[in-house]
Amino acid sequence: MSRSSSFADSLVERLSRGHERHTQRWHLHVPREGESAAQLRPLLVLLGLPTFGLALAISVLTTYGPVILIHVVGSPTAVGALIGGEGAFALVVPLAAGTLSDRLPDSPLGRRLPFVLVGAPLAALGLVLLPFSTSTDLAGAAVLVFFVGYYVYYPPYRALYADLLPRVLYARAQAGQAIARGAGLGVALLAGGLLIGLWQPLPFLVGAGVLAATTLALLPIFQLQARCHETTLPYEPASLRVTVLKNPKLRLFAVVNALWEFSFAGLKSFIVLYIVHGLGRSPAVASGVIAVVAVAYVVGAPLAGRLADRYGLVRVLRLTSLLYGLGLLYGAFPDTLAPLLIGLPVIALAGAIVLTLPQALAFTLAPPGAEGVAAGLQDFSRGIGLVLGPVVVGATVTATRGVFDSTDGYASMWLVIGVPVLLAALLLRRLETT
């Protein structure tokens, strides 16, 4: 055999092996024992896409919904009450959806897909209706429909991570999901400011379309589950009562998560109004500030997974909560934008880590077979924060206009959202020592 022929055969063999490795790398499959996050990239990418759509949808509603609602109801207190109060009706939904998705009998649609198919259209409908609302009743109905759909969808969807992934990959998987969440938040806040200037309903319509499109990404995963009939999670579902009432760590997690989400919901609902009405800057400036936060969120997500693997979930969450809370409290003192921008990247990075890891912590604290319950409990506690955050911040802004007159009362927002994060850091010590 000639030297050139031998070289060609060797080249073909190497290319074939490379193609085979590439095909295996991007082949969608149920995780096998010992596989790394890199080997499961196709699965993790598809799992994360709906997080992008859900984050974009709820960010549009909670951030630009107040811009619509302020003209319908007339005051910050009423805006906060409408977003928070209507969301309260959905508080029972996440626990019910998560628990039922654990216990649903086998069917052609599986355990999680029926909830996704019901929740996505409802959430999209609420988004479409809100910008066309001409009365408080219609606006309240739109917000309610959105939250019901959102909470029917989200806990069963979250539980898919525990269905398919071994526990050792929970923290790393949340990094990818957090990047998708941060991207959804960033796109909603940045593009929403531009789109709402073109036509007020536009960001809401785009949000509904993106939610529908990213939901379709789950279909190959559900088809994979239907073909394999095997997942990492052993389906031996525990009852809601046993899982929550007899698990003090999981109950403490719910309290801590509610505090985090209270802070984040209050911040999202009033950050644009703070910059525009409190500091007198333009919506374009508000978008620039939010861009810094969004970039920090995307950077912080993969860092969170690595830090949690090295130092432990609870320790990382406790220390970053402390830093994040102190940074939020600082925001109450300046009455111009420049001092806020100095520490913004670091504080936003700490906040990104705090918002990345709770789902992994919930699944770690839950007993095997109760991952749907844990996801539902996380979203239930999130709902409490989402309900109370805008209401309390809106009422405080209205009540403190005479105290924080240079910002028309909006600077008080930082005190209201900073204290709960510091309290969460203190409570996490109990998880670290038990």
Domains of the chain and CATH, by start: 46-433 (1.20.1250.20)
The pLDDT tens digits for 317-361 are 999 999 999 999 998 888 888 888 888 888 888 998 898 888 788
Q: Is the pLDDT of residue 433 over 70?
A: no
For the whole model, what pTM was predicted? 0.70
Q: Is the pLDDT of residue 8 over 60?
A: no
User: To the nearest whole percent, how much of the chain has pLDDT over 70?
Assistant: 79
The pLDDT tens digits for 253-312 are 989 999 999 998 888 778 888 888 888 888 778 877 877 777 877 788 778 878 888 888
Q: Is the pLDDT of residue 432 over 80?
A: no
The whole-number pLDDT of residue 423 equals: 96
The pLDDT tens digits for 136-180 are 888 888 988 998 999 899 888 988 877 777 766 766 677 777 788
Q: How confident is the model at residue 96 (pLDDT cuts 50, 70, 90)?
A: confident
Q: Is the pLDDT of residue 240 over 60?
A: no
The whole-number pLDDT of residue 39 equals: 67
Least confident window among 101-105, 167-171, 234-238, 417-421: 234-238
Q: Is the pLDDT of residue 413 over 70?
A: yes
- Rounded to whole angstroms, the Cα distance separating 235 from 266 reads 37
Q: Is the pLDDT of residue 11 over 60?
A: no
Instruction: Check if the beta carbon of residue 191 is closer than 8 Å to that of residue 407.
Output: no
Q: How confident is the model at residue 316 (pLDDT cuts 50, 70, 90)?
A: very high
Q: Is the pLDDT of residue 22 over 50?
A: no
Name the average pLDDT for the chain: 80
Higher-confidence residue of 81 and 172: namely 81
